[in-house]
Amino acid sequence: MNCINHDRRMLLKLGTSLAATALPLPALSQSNAPANQLLMRAIPRTGEKLSVVGLGTQFVLDIGNDLDKRAIRINVIRTLLDGGASVIDTAPSYGPAEATLGSLLEEMKARDRVFLSTKFRAPGRDGAIAETRESLKKLRTDKLQLLLRHNIGFVSRAEASEHLAVVRDWKAQGICRYIGVTHSQDQDKANDRLIEMLKTEKLDFIQINYSIAERSVEEKLLAVAADTGTAVMCNLPFARGALFRAVQGKRSEEHTSELQSHSDLVCRLLLEK
């Protein structure tokens, strides 16, 4: 098997958890950059630029001590970083992902090249602090680029307020550079609450589900994020694989040679259904 093609396929697979960062998101369709040039966007609060693609870690780092699988993941991360991207997103709820990622980055001596994002969701102030400290230990680092309160859309306002106070404290101490929230379950039911937070809390980032299979955030949330200067991270760009399953075994009858990526092909096949 061709090693380069193998790594490209693995990068596509590993990257399906996280597709876009550092918006305002509507600008994604307005770039005049050459097709082979990595798109970059500025974080609204600071102007720091990030690539619009990043790497998710759920499931794909459940590899134990398998040396061959570790080597493949190292090649994928190296491809990502050498290509100019830097965002890697993880969470304590992703099983062994944090510990595996921390080990891989240490082996690669690549921690300083990564925009590292993780999350917490343990209840209470003490629970949040303990969970984040454990994440830092597993990731083998003392600082994060981004700390997110995970799946905040359905928690009580009191707990949300308590947890946002925690992340602000950590940001003030320099433990994380940016703060934000995420939601990935029943996205459409959580949007109103998330919009409320965007308007009342000064968040640096929000991570939400967004793909051609899940578009509820287009109705209002994305516009509010842009208005409030909040960077958007798009999660589940292929809808947990549903988009691939929808076109499995199908062929695009025309213009296939003009498509620039696997994603282009999936989109065309879906439109032809």
Give the pLDDT of residue 96.
97
Cα distance between residue 35 and residue 48, in whole Å: 22
Give the pLDDT of residue 237.
85
Contacts of residue 100, defined as CB under 8 A and 6 or more positions apart, other chains included, come to 57, 61, 62, 63, 73
Give the pLDDT of residue 270.
52
Q: What is the pTM of this model?
A: 0.83
Q: What distance, in Å, lies between the first and last C-alpha atoms of the chain?
A: 32
DSSP 69-98: HHHHHHHHHHHHHHTT--EEE--GGGTTHH
Give the pLDDT of residue 194.
97
The answer to whether 138 and 99 are in contact (CB under 8 A) is: yes
- Residue 28 in 3-state DSSP? helix
Helix or strand (DSSP H, E) at 209: strand 205-209
Give, for all 273 residues of the chain, the pLDDT tens digit: 333 344 444 444 444 444 444 444 444 445 565 667 889 999 999 999 999 999 999 999 999 999 999 999 999 999 999 999 999 999 999 999 999 999 999 999 999 999 999 999 999 999 999 999 999 999 999 999 999 999 999 999 999 999 999 999 999 999 999 999 999 989 999 999 999 999 999 999 999 999 988 999 999 999 999 999 999 999 988 888 888 888 888 776 654 555 555 556 555 555 555
The per-residue b/e assignment along 239-259, b for 16 or more CB within 10 angstroms, e otherwise, is: bbeebeeebeeeebeeeeeee
DSSP 228-259: TT-EEEEE-TTGGGHHHHHHTT----S-GGG-
Neighbouring C-alpha atoms within 13 Å toward the C-beta of 183: 21
Helix or strand (DSSP H, E) at 108: helix 97-108
Q: What DSSP character marks residue 17?
A: G
Give the pLDDT of residue 44.
97
Q: For strand 176-182 and strand 205-209, is the pairing parallel, antiparallel, or unpaired? A: parallel
Give the C-alpha distances (Å, rounded to integers) separating 54 from 85, 104, 207, 226: 7, 17, 12, 20
Contacts of residue 250, defined as CB under 8 A and 6 or more positions apart, other chains included, come to 269, 272, 273
Give the C-alpha distances (Å, rounded to integers) separating 142 from 130, 170, 175: 14, 11, 7
Angle between helix 67-82 and 97-108 (nearest 10): 70
Does the CA dihedral 105-52-150-202 come out positive or negative?
positive
